[in-house]
Structure 1
């Protein structure tokens, strides 16, 4: 079941500034970034120029998406923000980074990452649960990266720590196109080739 289509299509992508152990993560991020542009969506991200974050932003920019990055002063050099693309906002703290990203985004896609990615995922899901916003959240479960977390969320629901409705806040897709479909972003029209005269 897809989320309702938003008239505004600013997609916040929460992900890591490292590449991961295998090339699958960066390849998937590039495919997702390209898909955003091809489907007429814009990207909001953490303004890092490296790793999964750099791959998704560069591909989105190349495919015509408007790209907006938000980064705190303390991470400006560490996450290679000088290599980041799009309009970049430098803010004083991580709290302000997250708050601005959440405000600018109409929905969230979560790609592989580390502690920061998990922190952002749990925060946007919690804000949904508490009614601070009603913005879709989708895990992109490439190579079953998030499978242990999905099992943990299911267990928390089974043990009564949240309801099935609250569990459904976090959706799961196995590939970039499936994730974009869940957000209700229209697929691009197929390109037809003219027959030779």
Structure 2
């Protein structure tokens, strides 16, 4: 009886190569890969920036051809390569990039203020994020005071010669491609006492 052994092979072309992934920090990221056909069936591992991915990290699961990162951090970003390996050798997929953006977070936020009529008041607002967020202001009760409100270079809102009708809630809106955050401060205006 002749036993025909199947030749050991590992083809070059991946049946599915990983795609670029963009997520916000804290969200899960998934990359998928199906290795080239081979005999024996190739096993899969992953490299990030040419270093083997450490699946001892409890956030990282490698199952079948899937690489899953449960709670992404900025430091997870990089170029990922899927590696198919059997007794013949190993093949690297084309690289795919994981981009981790960060939602806006306030560093300085507006606070409630009580001022006298005709005074000047500043509402602070500063936010970080990646991409860098845009910052705009709105007033819950209508428009910002015309001619007496100014958004300064540090994104703070300055109101001059405040009047009773300027009372209300002023909201700083910080937004980028992965998220939006809002912070508000209220303004109360007391009549100036004239002696």
Give TM-score scaled by structure 1 length. 0.19
Report the structure number with the largest CA radius of gyration: 2
Give TM-score scaled by structure 2 length. 0.19
Q: Which one has a larger percent strand, Structure 1 or Structure 2?
A: 2
Q: Which one has a larger percent helix, Structure 1 or Structure 2?
A: 1
